[in-house]
Amino acid sequence: MIDTNNTIKAIKVPFTAVPQFSKKDVAYVTEEQALRSFYKYEVGIDSFAKVIEDKQKDNTDRNALANSLQRQYTKLETTAKTEANIESLREKNTFTLITAHQPSLFTGPLYYIYKIVSVINLSKKLSSHYPNYQFVPVFITGGEDHDFDEVNHVHLFNKTLIWENEEHGSVGMMNTKSLKPVIAELKEILGESERAAKVFELMSVTHSRHELYSDAVIDMVNEIFGKDGLVIANMNHPEFKKLFIPEIKKEIFENPSIDIVGKERDKLEALGYKPQAFPREINFFYLRDQIRERITFEEDTYEVLNTDYTFSREEMETEIENYPERFSPNVIMRPLYQEKVFPNLAYIGGGGEIAYWLERKTQFEHFGINFPMLIRRDSVLWVDKGSIKKMNKLGLEIKDLFQKEDEIIRQFVDNQATEEISLNPQKEQLSTLFDQISELASKIDPTVAKSINAEHAKQQKVLDQIESRIHRAEKQKHDTAIKQIRGLKDKLFPKDGLQERYDNFMAFYFMYGDSFIETLKDQLDPLEKKMTIILDEH
């Protein structure tokens, strides 16, 4: 916990009480029956017995996996716990639990950290429940993607740091030299405190002692979570790609995914859920010389878009056999790749990730790879002591802040008003009066009723305008409090969204030091299926 005074309080909130979550996100967590056919296992600790039984039937090359991970870790200071976890993957009674994220700058939004803590805590819980098995928490840092604009920034202390870079292609293969300006800017923002020095050293050292960005990201995460035995994997690795050669060939030459995934998307769309991913005829990019471009098939020739690379079928088959590392899966094939390589039982992800995994179960069946349990990561709202003091002063509760800002202010003004500022009783009287007039007039001339209704609507609008003016006048009396409400709302729900999707963990490390992450380890449990609200009531 954060301190010996036990000032930290954690409360759990149902997902249904959080309007910021999507319809599909809530539907999955609350186990709506309409989604049941789109996943294989119900989420619960007892369900893992069946997942273990099914995953044991997969042909996982455990030695190749362990050897490749050990080679990836030669550039890092590996903890004894992580070394033991990697070695244990050779054993048939060891399984992984996986979460993943793009290589966001300096970890990016808070949920990057929450994902990792979720998978670490789940591995501990399963180890206690299933003592005859070992469970290894794995974090996959995506480095093959070329969506640089999605990962090149971080929000910290009301500032946005942006990594400027002229390179193209795979983000993970970019050179860390271009990070120097943003690292210098980070130092300026952090200041000179003891905690500032510690977190700056973490970021500057890990991002400076490696040439490739993917290695820097793995180093950074390892420094934070290596003591927990977390295994961090870069899937852009030749030995991993060799394990996936049969699936690469099947997808490129037979194109099964476009129809299989497309049908599942159509089914979900018919249920009212927006599609997440769009399958193509070939769901691989060609990755070479820092280009990552789509592979297409036209007139008996395989082409790499925006390049001069072309292949006949025979040449493409040879290329796959000799250079599997040049074939980069897109979002449609990435889950299959991951599950082929690892003896994995569950994927822990956010609502958007779970949504696109729900489109894949039949695709996994077609490729003969077991479909893992899908677990919604922990979501967290962290409320610092300053915010709690403001809430208490304003008479607000946590549940109030989940509403839109204007609604919070309206309710606050209504509660503070010494006089009734709602004209609802008068509006009801007006409606009754016009109903009586309309009834009388219709007995004399039915055509008059239409003009009476129009006049009613006009007078109703006048009352609405008067009520709005009264409300504005009352708001002006509470101008200071309303500014505090706006500031509080923006702090805890930046841009009217969830804190975990915007803020960076360094801001909380400043307040709590190492205890920030230790408190998360104490409180998070992805099997609880609730949002965690952490209150610092000091």
Q: 328-385 pLDDT, tens per residue?
A: 999 999 999 999 999 999 999 999 999 999 999 999 999 999 999 999 999 999 999 9
User: Measured between alpha carbons, how far is 529 from 525 in angstroms, rounded to an integer?
Assistant: 8
Instruction: Give the residue with greater pLDDT, 476 vs 121.
Output: 121
Residue keyed to tokens 């794995």: 138
Let me know how long the chain is. 538
Closest C-alpha to 497, from 412, 398, 377, 401: 401
Give yes or no for residue 225 having a pLDDT over 70.
Answer: yes
Closest C-alpha to 340, from 446, 202, 234, 243: 243
User: Measured between alpha carbons, how far is 53 from 130 in angstroms, rounded to an integer?
Assistant: 13
Pull the structure tokens for residue 40: 């294989």
pLDDT tier at 283, thresholds 50, 70, 90? very high
Quick check: 135 and 142 in contact, CB under 8 A? Answer: no
Using a pLDDT cut of 90, give the percent of the chain over it: 77
Are β-strands 94-101 and 344-349 bridged in parallel, bridged antiparallel, or unpaired? parallel
Half-sphere exposure of 308 (CA within 13 A, CB side): 0
Give yes or no for residue 474 having a pLDDT over 70.
Answer: no
Quick check: 182 and 274 in contact, CB under 8 A? Answer: no
Quick check: 55 and 348 in contact, CB under 8 A? Answer: no
Pull the structure tokens for residue 316: 């493409």
Closest C-alpha to 114, from 233, 268, 225: 225
> H helices within 146-256, ranges in order?
148-151, 180-190, 194-206, 213-225, 238-243, 245-254
Q: What are phi and psi of 376, to 5 degrees?
A: -70, 125
Instruction: Give the residue with greater pLDDT, 416 vs 66.
Output: 66
Q: What is the pLDDT of residues 47-66, one digit of tens each?
A: 999 999 999 999 899 999 99
Pull the structure tokens for residue 100: 């993943």
Contacts of 287 (CB under 8 A, 6+ apart): 144, 169, 170, 236, 325, 326, 327, 328
3-state secondary structure of 338: helix
3-state secondary structure of 272: coil
Report, as an integer, the average pLDDT of 21-38.
95
3-state secondary structure of 64: helix
- pLDDT at position 517 is 95
User: How many other CB atoms sit within 10 Å of the CB of residue 72?
Assistant: 21
Torsion angle, CA of 47/501/515/229, rounded to 10 degrees? Answer: 50
Report, as an integer, the average pLDDT of 114-126.
98
Quick check: 250 and 300 in contact, CB under 8 A? Answer: no
Closest C-alpha to 479, from 413, 421, 415, 392: 413
Instruction: Give the residue with greater pLDDT, 483 vs 443.
Output: 483
CA 62 from centroid of its chain's CA atoms: 29
Torsion angle, CA of 424/425/426/428, rounded to 10 degrees? Answer: 90
Residue keyed to tokens 């490729």: 367
Report, as an integer, the average pLDDT of 178-196.
94
Q: What is the pLDDT of residues 133-151, one digit of tens each?
A: 999 999 999 778 778 999 9
Quick check: 532 and 384 in contact, CB under 8 A? Answer: no
User: Measured between alpha carbons, how far is 227 from 508 in angstroms, rounded to an integer?
Assistant: 20
What's the chain's average pLDDT?
A: 91
